Amino acid sequence: MAGQIADVTTAEITRAVRDATTGGLEIKQDDFIAVIDGDIRATNGGIFELLCSVLDIFKEKEVELVTFYRGSDLPDADARLLVQRLSERFPDLDFELHDGGQPLYPLIISGE
């Protein structure tokens, strides 16, 4: 298992608390940001658009299975709709959705 953990890509989705610039990204307060494997890699005002950017990055890493862990502030129906729309946009990926219950992060995502 320890060897396989290196093949897992993770993303944490949260909101920016202030305007910032990092890694060439202009981030506005309240935008969604994606921290992928520890680095801020994408930002967008809309969560669906941000998730599309995240999945494009995941596909570069040859991810096949994407698991979403829904946070306590994201309603279940909204999370299910997001996953449905993403599965239509990315039909070559498999998706799972679980209730993670975490605060501050509407979604934590793993790709393998």
- Give the global pTM: 0.92
Number of Cβ within 10 Å of residue 15's Cβ equals 16
Domains in the chain: ranges and CATH: 2-111 (3.30.1180)
Residues 6+ apart with CB under 8 A from 39: 23
Q: What is the pLDDT of residues 1-42, one digit of tens each?
A: 455 666 799 999 999 999 999 989 999 999 999 999 999 999
* pLDDT of amino acid 85: 98
